[in-house]
Amino acid sequence: MTKHVQDEKPPMTKEAKAWMEEETAAQEVRYKAIVDELDGIADERATWIEEFLHNIQTRGFHVTGDTKRKIPDEEMPEKPARPDATRVIW
C-alpha cells in the first residue's frame, strides 16, 4: 500500500470534534431551511418549467454549445405521477 500524508493524520483534537458536532447540527438546520425555501417557490418553479418546455419547442433545446434543436410534440416529456416528481433537493 502506498502511504499518503492523510494516512498519518493524528486523531481529531477535542476542539475539532466539538467543531464537527456543532457544524453537523448547523448543516442539518441549513439543509432543512433550503428544502423549505425551495418548497416555497414550487408554484413559481412550475411556471419556469412551463416556460422552459415552451422555449425548447419554439427557440430550441441546447444540444451542445450553441447547437439547438426544436423538440417536436412527440418527444416532449410528461410529468410523472410519482410524488417526488417535483423534488429538487436530494
Which chain residues interact with other proteins by CB under 8 A?
A: 1-10, 12-13, 15-16, 18-20, 23-24, 26-27, 30-32, 34-36, 38, 41, 44-45, 48-49, 52-53, 55-56, 59-66, 68, 71, 77, 79-90
**CB of 39 closer than 8 Å to CB of 47:** no
**Nearer of residues 1 and 74 to other proteins, judged by Cβ:** 1
Cell triple for residue 30? 441549513
Q: Tell me how far, at minimum, the Cβ of 57 lies from other proteins, in Å.
A: 10
CA atoms within 13 A on the CB side of 4: 1
